[in-house]
Each structure stands twice: as structure tokens, then as C-alpha cells.
Amino acid sequence: MKAIRIMAAVVAFAGLFATAALAAPKTVTVATDATWPPMEFVDANKKIVGFDIDFMNAVAKEAGFQAAFKNTAWDGIFAGIAAGQYDAIISSVTITDERKAKFDFTVPYISIGQILVVPKAERGTKIGDLKGKKLGAQIGTTGAMEIKKVAGVELKTYDEVGLAFEDMAAGRISGVVCDQPTAVTYALDKKEYSNKFKIVGQPFTKEAYGIVVKKGNKDLVALLNKGIAGVQKKKIDQQLKKKWHLK
């Protein structure tokens, strides 16, 4: 009888353990290059914040998992997911055919465009107006790709977009191409630059951001898409756009 009771207790405990394990939310490790305000950046308290971070946390809540963020340099961020160092990337990643050939993406979650920022004395309003001059962009971004398309303009790349703006403030380059939200942050919101830079023209690309996962990880794509659908249905993404002053 005692043996039966012990066995019953063991079975009951195992059942409780299994139930707890099933109830425990899955943790998804997410890489982000936190140098791209207002989408992802490190605040004064050394915390990773931004639209993408809030959005991913909302997606996690809707899909029933927890997101753990890992600050990762842009120039190695894609190699890291290919090597299995994290599960996903949310870092203002534009969905392109070239990237889709190597990685899987969720459905798009926001659309933006590239735009040009120049010193206030500059009269040019598009990349082609700055032939013979040097323009900056973060390495491997669609901004850098756009500069490359224009003959006669020299591209200088940077590990972080903030370094490009520092160089422009010092007179070493004549413009910076980046995503419109980031351009607004540097040209209009930052006190040290608001009287030096201006945004010119209109966004000249239309790009969709997606969350990146390792090629073939269909289950994670489905989980993330479920969360995105929930966020969009409840219009949480619109609330976050207002919070971070996105159009």
C-alpha cells in the first residue's frame, strides 16, 4: 500500500511539473542593433528602448512568449542568426529579395522610406544633386544601397549611423541617407544638431520592415505572425507609432 501511495505521489508530482512546464512561456531571444533611434536605442538608463522593442514585447504578449533582447552590432547581426546565436532579429530590417533568399521574414509590420539629411547651407535636395561630394550611411543598410546607385557620389559607411552625423557636423561629409524616423531624430530632435542639419525632399523609397528568423524556422515565423496579427487587430501598433512620433 505504501509503495502504491508513493507511486501515486510521484505520478501526481510529475503531472504538476509537466503542467507547469507547459504553462511556462517560451523565451525568444531577439537581436537588435540599438543605435537607430527612435526604433531601437539605448536610453540614459542603459536600457534598450524604442518602437521596435515595444512592438516586439506587444507581439510576445499576444503570442504567449517572452522576448529577451540582445544588443548586437549591425555588421554581424545576420551572421549571428545564421549561426543560431539568437532566434530572431527586430532592428529596422527592410524586407528585400536578397535577404529573403537567405532568411525567413514575418509579415511586414511597418513601412518607411529613405530620406536625405544635409547641412542647412546645402542647396541640394536629392542624392543626385550632390555629385562630387561624399555621403554617409550605416554599412549594409538600404540607405547605403541607395547612395551606391548614383554615379558621381562617394559613399562612406559607418558601423553606427550616429557616427555619420558626427562626421557631417565636422564637415567631413555632405549628407547622410537613412530611414525617415531616424533622420527626424537626428536632424530635428537632437539639440546639438537641430540648428545644423535639415531634411530635404521627400522619402524616395517605400520599404517594409519585417522580423527576421533563421531560414526554415517556419514555426517561429507562424508564432510571430500570430502576435503581429493580434497587435494590429487591437491597433496597439498605432498607439506605439504615436508614442514614438512616427507617421
pLDDT of 13 strictly over 70:
no
Query: What percentage of residues in the chain have a pLDDT greater than 90?
Result: 89
Same fold for the pair 27-111+209-244 and 114-200: yes
Domain-by-domain residue ranges, the chain?
27-111+209-244, 114-200
CATH class of 114-200: alpha beta
27-111+209-244: CATH topology is D-Maltodextrin-Binding Protein; domain 2 (3.40.190)
Q: What is the mean pLDDT of residues 182-188?
A: 93
* pLDDT confidence tier of residue 4, bands split at 50, 70 and 90: very low
pTM recorded for the entire structure: 0.84
pLDDT of 21 strictly over 80:
no
Query: What percentage of residues in the chain have a pLDDT greater than 70?
Result: 90
| Residue pair 167/138 in contact by the 8 Å Cβ criterion | no
Residues 6+ apart with CB under 8 A from 169: 192, 193, 196, 197
Alpha helix ranges (H) inside 93-247: 97-100, 142-148, 161-169, 180-184, 218-233, 236-243
